[in-house]
Structure 1
């Protein structure tokens, strides 16, 4: 059984041969898998944990608001529920290049921006 691609990003700085083969791995992963895991990327676990926490909180707030709007629009005022087990990676798409879309994303708290 094949495992999904794990790409060592530190090899991008190990000379032209390593850089080329790493870029080929990324290309292959994008074309044939649609995703991959990056290791040795230089981003601290603390920052990743903070981003995950803030993203989950943002998503929870958005989902709760959407749920309340749906309940109100359907006349389901007796329904009481809680939003849980949320996939934090699917909240929104943020792009910085060629042009940032940060200003287009509503309701982001300053810490999250």
Structure 2
């Protein structure tokens, strides 16, 4: 059985299909936890810049912490060895109703705009 994640067309939120689009969005949030947005109006250039800044922040601030975690796990007798260091770091930024940017003091000024 093929299973695909939800895809939400933001243009449909403005027209006669709004109710169906909102139901899809609700279901995606409640049952999937993620979805793809189409026609969201965010420029590819801005998305590329956010990706660049996120990768830069990871390299600068997170990668070493993951390497230390791996080393400590191996020193403490962990039998599993990590062969591929393709780590991912996740953090949640919000601006409304109250910003949490102060919780991330290692974020550069470029990331704060």
Distance change (3 Å), C-alpha of 1:61 and 1:27 = same
Counterpart in the other structure of 1:8: 9
Deviation, structure 1 residue 70: 6.1
TM-score (norm 2): 0.74
Counterpart contact for 2:66–2:87, Cα < 8 Å: no
The 3 A distance-change label for structure 1 pair 37 and 68 is closer
> In the alignment, is the contact (CA less than 8 A) between 1:6 and 1:39 conserved in 2?
yes
Q: Residues 5-48 of structure 1: CA distance to partner in whole angstroms, max 9, x if unpaired?
A: 1000111112xx42221111000111121111001000011111
CA RMSD of aligned residues (A): 2.6
Q: Is the CA contact (8 Å cut-off) linking 1:55 and 1:91 kept in structure 2?
A: no
Alignment map for 1:1-113 (pairs within 5 Å):
1-14=2-15, 17-66=16-65, 85-87=86-88, 90-113=89-112
TM-score by length of 1: 0.74
Q: Provide the aligned length of Structure 1 versus Structure 2.
A: 102
Structure 1 regions of 5+ residues with no counterpart? 77-83
The DSSP-based 3-state class of the residue aligned with 2:8 is strand
SS state at 1:91 partner: coil
2:79 aligned residue: none
The unaligned stretches of length 5 or more in structure 2 are 76-84
Q: Secondary structure at the match of 2:49?
A: helix
